[in-house]
Chains A and B, each alone.
Chain A
Amino acid sequence: MRPDTARRLLETMWRIRRFEERVAKLKRQNEVHGLVHLSIGQEAVAAAVCCRLRDDDAVYSGHRAHGHAIAKGAPLERVLAELMGRADGLCQGLGGSMHLVDVEHGLLGATGVVGGNVPIAVGSALAARLRGTDQVTVVFFGDGAAQAGHFTEAVNLARLWALPVVLVCENNGFAEFTPRSAHTTIERVSDAVAPFGFERDTVDGNDVEAVWDTFGRFLEQARAGRGPLLLECLTHRLRGHYEGDAEAYRAAITADEWQQKDPILRFQRRALLAGWIDEADAAAIEREAVAAVAAAERFASASPFPSPELAARMTYT
């Protein structure tokens, strides 16, 4: 890995981590209104996938979208303003945490209905095919989505039409509050699509290098028009399904286990060992993330609430 790539991945992961930790606090203070799902622990997937993409590649996300938005290039301050329901939010406060859209950076949609984004993303890939461009669409979804009928329907058509879409599954082992084993006998999501006969793989999603390498290979295939592909990333959601979830359904991870699993600390150790960064760089990267989040919060807090008439005006174009 090139040192600048390692630095960029680490920067992106720290920005997501510090951002979401701040969001958790702002949620408790009621500054962030509504339902919030955090991706703390899953940052490696968002960073490795989105840092590989161009602005004109499309990303579709779901209800746990903050990391994808930030990694795809959405400005922190506008993401936070959206979460706080402000006029300068990405979507002028009309979408919120589960529906982040930033067309300028290729984040085309985020849906709050599990798996509802998969057919839509396949349609985005169809558009690229019809236009004759080499744009690729990536759709993020959890392991829970793979049991939904719309997932299989969309995969079938993506394969039938050989569309340039990479399906990225963030398998954190829990569909909302329920372990995968209670929902299906298929352990790996990558095996669920086996009959379609396209390339698929399962990697350690907390190993940013593994995601970077495998996704890079998949992206090349999709760019060359050899889609669809599916990348399953095994990961760990450190927090509950949503902020406020009491998590009675699972045992907390121990501090020692987390030290080994945390995708950021793990990659930081690796980068130091490889000499891609030094201790001073590591400290600076984290510090910069904290400063960027603080600046975003100042911006978002100063942003006004949207004018109420916006609520009535936006229904039709």
Chain B
Amino acid sequence: MAHELPYIAAIDEAIKLEMERDPTVLYFGQNMATTENEDFVTSFGHDRVRVTPISETAEIGIATGAAMAGYRPVVELYMAEFMLVAMDQVINEAPRFRYMSGGQVKVPLVLKAGYGFTAGWAGQHTGTLGALFMGVPGLKVAVPSTAADAKGLMATAIRDDNPVVYLHHYLLTLEHGEVPDGEHLVPFGEAAVRRTGGDVTIVGTGWTVGKALAAAERLAEEGIEAEVIDPRTLAPLDLDTILESVEKTGHLVLVDQAPRHSSVAAVIAGDVAEHGFGSLKAPIRLVTALDTTVPYSEPLEAYVLPDEAKVVDAVRKTLQTVSA
């Protein structure tokens, strides 16, 4: 059985279910005392739902210490950029302890943050930072693109014994979708094939999955059938599903909202170039944001970002390369 929910509510549903199921799950955040979180406070009390000051380093560090001592904190960070204030804790403390202790401790911690809010939020609130965290051994990274995955990946993140950066896309906040009732777990490291097709493989994450699907529909009108893959987690990354698809299609277009040089697309391109070169009939094409700060003005914002037309164009070009 399923029910319809907005993406953002599906995340809350997962946290609530996990908090009911496991008394060691804690929820920290700067605005936990506001009315929208009243339900959490009423259900679980202030011991478990904790209001924190604007001190990202202390919030994440304290959550790490509590995790090492047997709790499972979820830290609500609101914006992925706010994690940058606490780089030491996110990159150099939480993901290192299990390793450096030779496996004596574990850090079951979820860092929840929104990202990619390219709706006039300008240079400091719009970043797509997944690839940054993906490159940190010890961190796992989840990037849901649907309401169902938003719920299932959060539940899995909370039960995981490693620190997980859970990045929900702000432009998907109010997108509705069917969400399975009750317990729903989406395994990490298993990509979803959102559309099947034999002519070209398109990989997108978060908001760009929708752009890839829209482009695929336009291409279908021209007789081009695209396969659209959503990795769902960046670490672990399901490279096998991408390689299998490329083996079938021979063409790969990678769509990413991040600037090219800090994109997941660039990482996947490297992996496919090494492990799937024999399958490729044309060079891999990347449709990413330009290597710029995200500008404020609306037409400029659109100019630097990937969109449906840019994806369609990239697909046409890769297919033309082989026929030329």
**Could you tell me which A residues sit within 8 Å of B by CB distance?**
58, 60, 89-96, 99, 101-103, 108-109, 111, 113, 116, 118-128, 130-131, 149-150, 153-154, 156-157, 160-161, 314-317
| Complex alpha-carbon distance, A123 and B100, angstroms | 19
| In contact, B102 and A89 (Cβ under 8 angstroms) | yes
**Could you tell me which B residues sit within 8 Å of A by CB distance?**
26, 47-48, 50, 52-53, 55, 57-58, 60-71, 88-89, 92-93, 96-106, 137-138, 140, 161-162
Distance in angstroms from B109 CB to nearest chain A CB is 10
| In contact, A109 and B97 (Cβ under 8 angstroms) | yes
Interface centre among B69, B105, B140 (most CB of A within 10 A): B69
| In contact, A94 and B99 (Cβ under 8 angstroms) | yes
| Complex alpha-carbon distance, A279 and B88, angstroms | 50
Q: List 19 A-B contacts (CB under 8 A).
A: A58-B69, A91-B104, A94-B99, A94-B100, A95-B101, A95-B102, A96-B100, A103-B101, A109-B97, A109-B101, A120-B64, A122-B61, A123-B63, A123-B67, A123-B68, A124-B66, A127-B71, A156-B58, A317-B106
Q: Give chain A residues whose Cβ lies under 8 Å from the Cβ of B63.
A: 123
Distance in angstroms from B235 CB to nearest chain A CB is 9
Distance in angstroms from A269 CB to nearest chain B CB is 39
| In contact, A316 and B162 (Cβ under 8 angstroms) | yes
| In contact, B101 and A101 (Cβ under 8 angstroms) | yes
| In contact, A157 and B68 (Cβ under 8 angstroms) | no
Distance in angstroms from B247 CB to nearest chain A CB is 27
| Complex alpha-carbon distance, A204 and B62, angstroms | 30
| Complex alpha-carbon distance, A238 and B9, angstroms | 59
Distance in angstroms from B194 CB to nearest chain A CB is 27
Q: Give chain A residues whose Cβ lies under 8 Å from the Cβ of B106.
A: 317
Q: Give chain B residues whose Cβ lies under 8 Å from the Cβ of A128.
A: 69
- Given A123-B63, A314-B103: A150 and B98 within 8 A (CB)? no
* Contact partner, B100, options A101, A120, A130, Cβ 8 Å: A101
* Contact partner, B61, options A90, A123, A315, Cβ 8 Å: A123
| In contact, A116 and B61 (Cβ under 8 angstroms) | yes
Interface centre among B58, B97, B104, B137 (most CB of A within 10 A): B58
| In contact, A317 and B102 (Cβ under 8 angstroms) | no
B163 (CB) vs chain A CBs: closest residue: A316
8 other A-B residue contacts (CB within 8 Å) besides A120-B62, A125-B65, A316-B98: A58-B69, A109-B68, A109-B105, A113-B92, A123-B68, A150-B61, A156-B55, A314-B99
| In contact, B101 and A153 (Cβ under 8 angstroms) | no
Distance in angstroms from B51 CB to nearest chain A CB is 9
Distance in angstroms from A272 CB to nearest chain B CB is 40
Distance in angstroms from A300 CB to nearest chain B CB is 15
